[in-house]
Amino acid sequence: MSEAVGGGLELRSLTKEFAGFTAVKSLDLDVPKGAFFALLGPSGCGKTTTLRMVAGLESPTSGTITLGGQDITRTKAYQRPVNTVFQNYALFPHLDIFENVAFGLRRRKESDVDRRVTEMLELVELSSQARKRPAQLSGGQQQRVALARALINQPEVLLLDEPLGALDLKLRRSMQLEIKRIQTEVGLTFIHVTHDQEEAMTMADTVAVMNAGVIEQMGAPSELYENPRTTFVANFLGQSNLIEGRIKSRDSDVVTVDMHGTDVSVTTARSHADGEMGWIGIRPEKVLIGDEGENLDAPGNSIPGGRVVDVSFVGVSTQYLVRMPWGQELQVFEQNTGRRRMFRRGDQVELSWRPEFAFLLDHSQDAS
């Protein structure tokens, strides 16, 4: 059913000010029809405000919202082909599950209600619960009722505002996959708001990372993770070691950087001027750790002189904190393959990584 063709959602210079405070700053966003799109960012970055403007629950200070080629900026909420699923479900406690899902259809006196509700309950795998009241269901089941109730109105866009926030971690994980399955089956545009990077990356085809009212970067989860363009994105999506360096030279896409006295190579398509300072970013799981002088089996950058200051065994990996000669502590996550011994606190080590695993960021940005 899914087809990602034109007719998507377009936000242009969308801005929202609250009494002199700009919550959303001139946002430009294109969400293709049929996409599973996530708006990801820390609390207060403007995600919910953006979603509420798309839903028509908040009117923009300036800018436009277009859906399927139609300007809906000033269209009333109930006239927009958009539905929202909230974290608190908002189910009717006195109605059973079937009637909760049927509610909108009955109110609009639509036909074929029984068949449509039955099909929808099948889609969310709640057929056997149809005659129960919301209070008799688990949190995950109630969330699926809320989803069914929104989907039965056949919106063009479904907005999900932290829909899994009230669930425990295990249920959250299974609901993430469940919602993704449902989205694939119905082929509608889903816009999911979350502050949980793992959730956004698990569920969405495209993730927009928001910070202080603007979108810092947008792309496929793997693209954002492998090639963050800002220190904020590098730190918000997983963990990163950010090391200061001075750019010395470039040979095609490989840049040589003086990193505290050691020349290291970074593969990057972005242009940086020679002599410029920058941040070398490297994910902890991309760093290899070995005995000093050991020929680590990754051709690339080798940095001696590290000392292990902390070791945590976390099952699938061992996580090291290594103090480098220039005083910075770098994180190293080594997968536990049982291949070799663990290092201990106090051990002298050498770190290494492949140039293509590192990324280079502008120094003008704060690394914290």
Shortest Cβ 201–ligand ATP spacing (Å): 17
Beta strand 206-211 with 36-40: parallel, antiparallel or unpaired? parallel
Short-list 226, 228, 208, 227, CA closest to 218: 208
48 binds ligand ATP (CB under 6 A): yes
Closest separation in Å from C-beta 355 to ligand ATP: 36
List b or e across 308-336, with b for residues whose CB sees 16 or more CB atoms inside 10 angstroms: beebeeeeebbbbbbebeeeeebbbbbee
Neighbours of 101 (CB within 10 A): 28
We find the least distance from the C-beta atom of residue 49 to ligand ATP, in angstroms, to be 3
x-marked contacts with ligand ATP along 185-224 as a string, rule CB under 6 A: ----------x-----------------------------
Name which of 18 and 92 has its Cβ closer to ligand ATP: 18
**Beta carbon nearer to ligand ATP, 46 or 245:** 46
Count of residues in contact with ligand ATP, rule CB under 6 A = 11
Q: Which residue is nearest to ligand ATP (CB)?
A: 48
Compare residues 141 and 197 and give the one whose CB is closer to ligand ATP: 197
Best CA proximity match to 148, nearest among 191, 109, 178, 107: 178
Q: Which residue among 2, 18, 110, 295 contacts ligand ATP (CB under 6 A)?
A: 18
Q: Which is nearer to ligand ATP, 55 or 105 (CB)?
A: 55
> SS3 of 302, please?
strand
149 binds ligand ATP (CB under 6 A): no
Q: Is 60 in the site for ligand ATP (CB under 6 A)?
A: no
Contact call for residues 123 and 186 (beta carbons, < 8 A): yes
33 near ligand ATP, judged by CB under 6 A? no
Q: Which of 31, 45, 72, 182 binds ligand ATP (CB under 6 A)?
A: 45
Q: Indicate the residue among 162 and 334 with the shorter CB distance to ligand ATP.
A: 162
Q: Of the listed pieces 38-46, 95-103, 278-286, 326-334, which binds ligand ATP according to CB under 6 A?
A: 38-46
Stretch of 40-48, 231-239, 272-280, 284-292 lying at the interface with ligand ATP (CB under 6 A): 40-48
Q: Starting at the earlier edge strand, list the strands of the sheet with 9-18.
A: 21-31, 9-18, 62-67, 70-71
Cα–Cα distances (Å) from 269 to 36, 358, 361, in that order, read 28, 12, 11
Residue type, 232: F
Could you say whether residue 43 binds ligand ATP (CB under 6 A)? yes
> Which residue, 172 or 195, has its beta carbon nearer to ligand ATP?
195
Nearest in space to 21 (alpha carbons), one of 240, 212, 244, 255: 212
Distance between CA 206 and CA 130 in Å, rounded? 34
| Spatial distance between the Cα atoms of 348 and 358, rounded to a whole number of angstroms | 23
- Contacting positions for ligand ATP (CB under 6 A): 18, 23, 41, 43-49, 195
